[in-house]
Amino acid sequence: MNLQEISTYVDTHKKAHFENLKKMLLQPSVSPQNIGIRECAEMLAKFYEELRCETEIFETEGNPVVYGKYDAGALKTLLAYFMYDTQPYDEPGWTHPPMEATLAPLELPSGRVTALFNRGATNTKGPMMTFLNAIESIQKTEGELPFNLVLVGEGEEELGSAHLPEFVKAKRSELEKADACLFPFFLQDTKGKVELYLGVKGIIYFELESSGEKWGRGPTQFGIHGSNKAWVDSPAWRLVDALSTLTEDGGNTVLVDHFYDDVAPPSPEDEELIRSLVKTFDSEPFKQTVKVDKFVVDEKDRETLLKKLLYTSTLNIDGIWGGYTGEGSKTLLPHKATAKIDIRLVPNQERDKMLPLVRKHLDEKGYKDVEIRILDVGYNWSKVSVKEPVVQAMIETCRHFGYEPEVWPHLAGSAPFYLFSEVLKIPYVMGALGHGARAHSPDEYIVYEGNTKVMGLDGAQKSMVAFMDEWIKR
């Protein structure tokens, strides 16, 4: 590819590419609350069509997968996976409106940038549109793509990708022809350092509920006057009791029998990556961005801290509620109380083994009535070797732009990458350059105009083009 020419195209089409992104950001697509999903899928399909892709809105029992194919008659096929759904944006704490694609200055440790604030900006409409813009830039400049393209845009990643396996099963013969998978993502931190993650943890998401109805004790149908606590049992206290049996040490140690049984020590390849990672890893950008002062272990011991993050299987309370939660005081004996919980899985834990362990624990502790309600069946963890050509292409691309990437064994977060690595047997990589942060938090942003360290959206797009160029050579 003529990278110079493509680069010029990117520079001269900055405004149009920004308009594409803005259009996508302003379209709500909140899968947890089922807002705007269909409209967003249709918008994404239109973008595919503009890239001359054979496009299909693949219907599932849940949200549709926006599927696209472009046969360039090339030797290699790249599968790009991204999600068009986002988290809700109704939480307090936004200083910029969550759905107005506001451009505003932002001071990063690497200097001032212009950031683009919006729900979904970094997770992951920003990287997704940057990738589609990159494809357009190649097509317009080169006339033809030098590789075939398969686009998988899913609409329920934030719901645990419940129906993506259904799609993968239906399209398996087409999908498995791909040589590699790219998950468009901005790899730079606030200082400009590149972090490349070779995998993800698995996840299961469920609700635990204690109710008078199931228990047969306490109020069974509605909350009653609080004075009745003297002679009527409390499903709210029961939830607290049941939860407190699950962990100790502030939730840092899970007490469920066999919970950690399958947790494997880091592989030799991981140990090697960590030895290198320890030298460059800096916790400050993370702490600053999300306003965290302390970790569960002493952060001076970087190796321990990193291993804690990457190899700890967690049982996290995402939310908890019951009874009267409004202003002021209302005395109430609630009839139920509920907690949302996610379990993160690390190698070699198996997704389908975990909930039965939690169920057994609750039963044995006497909480047979405390209900487990699965919200996301979730996914297994997934890892890819640093030796894969697609990974090496990404590393080489970063170096080409002057960045030595910090290669992480995997991410602490989750994504359904096991469908690529385990089901389709395709290696994958996340990338390329650029920076965004505060996924799932207020003031989610990506960098629009960068500084000397952090790439803006134009640089991000160019780095994606360069990655594709690097990859087809391998």
Question: Segment 94-153, which members bind its own copies (CB under 8 A)?
Answer: none
Nearer to its own copies, 134 or 333 (CB): 333
Question: Binding its own copies by CB under 8 A: which of 29, 77, 87, 133?
Answer: 87
Q: Determine contact, residues 405/188, Cβ cutoff 8 Å.
A: no
Options 42-50, 112-120, 212-220, 399-407: segment touching its own copies (CB under 8 A): 212-220
Closest contact distance (angstroms) between CB of 28 and its own copies is 14
Residue 229 in contact with its own copies, rule: CB under 8 A: yes
Collapsing DSSP to helix, strand or coil, 157 comes out as helix
Q: Which two tokens stand for residue 89?
A: 């944006």
Nearer to its own copies, 349 or 461 (CB): 349
Binders in 1-30 for its own copies, by CB under 8 A: none
Q: In terms of DSSP bridges, do strands 77-83 and 180-184 run parallel, antiparallel, or are they unpaired?
A: parallel
Residue 300 in contact with its own copies, rule: CB under 8 A: no
Measured between alpha carbons, how far is 411 from 185 in angstroms, rounded to an integer?
12
Q: Determine contact, residues 411/199, Cβ cutoff 8 Å.
A: yes
Closest contact distance (angstroms) between CB of 401 and its own copies is 27
Closest alpha carbon to 346 in 312, 372, 373: 312
Closest contact distance (angstroms) between CB of 449 and its own copies is 25
Question: Binding its own copies by CB under 8 A: which of 73, 300, 326, 425?
Answer: 326
Question: Binding its own copies by CB under 8 A: which of 314, 357, 392, 472?
Answer: 314
Residue 237 in contact with its own copies, rule: CB under 8 A: yes
Measured between alpha carbons, how far is 251 from 238 in angstroms, rounded to an integer?
17
Question: Binding its own copies by CB under 8 A: which of 216, 265, 356, 402?
Answer: 216
Options 38-46, 110-118, 197-205, 459-467: segment touching its own copies (CB under 8 A): 197-205
Q: Determine contact, residues 235/215, Cβ cutoff 8 Å.
A: yes
Measured between alpha carbons, how far is 37 from 152 in angstroms, rounded to an integer?
15
Binders in 392-451 for its own copies, by CB under 8 A: 411-414, 439-442
Residue 329 in contact with its own copies, rule: CB under 8 A: yes
Name the DSSP class of 264: P
Question: Binding its own copies by CB under 8 A: which of 337, 391, 426, 465?
Answer: 337
**Structural element, H or E, at residue 210:** strand 202-211
Closest contact distance (angstroms) between CB of 75 and its own copies is 37
Q: Determine contact, residues 420/181, Cβ cutoff 8 Å.
A: yes
Question: Binding its own copies by CB under 8 A: which of 69, 193, 238, 462?
Answer: 238
Nearer to its own copies, 11 or 90 (CB): 90
Closest contact distance (angstroms) between CB of 85 and its own copies is 11
Measured between alpha carbons, how far is 263 from 463 in angstroms, rounded to an integer?
36
Options 1-9, 19-27, 137-145, 307-315: segment touching its own copies (CB under 8 A): 307-315
Nearer to its own copies, 267 or 316 (CB): 316
Binders in 30-49 for its own copies, by CB under 8 A: 31-34
Closest contact distance (angstroms) between CB of 307 and its own copies is 10
Q: Determine contact, residues 123/186, Cβ cutoff 8 Å.
A: no
Closest contact distance (angstroms) between CB of 325 and its own copies is 4
Measured between alpha carbons, how far is 182 from 176 in angstroms, rounded to an integer?
14
Collapsing DSSP to helix, strand or coil, 106 comes out as strand
Residue 290 in contact with its own copies, rule: CB under 8 A: yes
Closest alpha carbon to 213 in 205, 222, 225: 222
> Which residue has 């009527």 as its token pair?
232
Question: Binding its own copies by CB under 8 A: which of 2, 8, 12, 221?
Answer: 221
CA distances from 425 to 91, 172, 428 (A): 39, 11, 10
Question: Binding its own copies by CB under 8 A: which of 40, 333, 362, 426?
Answer: 333
Residue 263 in contact with its own copies, rule: CB under 8 A: no
- Give, to the nearest 10 degrees, the angle between helix 126-142 and helix 3-12: 120
How big is the site for its own copies, counted in residues (CB under 8 A)? 95
Closest alpha carbon to 394 in 140, 187, 225: 187
Options 19-27, 87-95, 170-178, 448-456: segment touching its own copies (CB under 8 A): 87-95
Closest contact distance (angstroms) between CB of 357 and its own copies is 18
Residue 305: what residue type? Answer: L
Nearer to its own copies, 70 or 367 (CB): 367
Give Cβ neighbours of residue 232 (< 8 Å, ≥ 6 apart): 217, 218, 219, 224, 333
Measured between alpha carbons, how far is 1 from 262 in angstroms, rounded to an integer?
46
Phi, psi of 450, rounded to the nearest 5 degrees: -85, -170
Residue 288 in contact with its own copies, rule: CB under 8 A: no
Q: Which two tokens stand for residue 2?
A: 């003529």
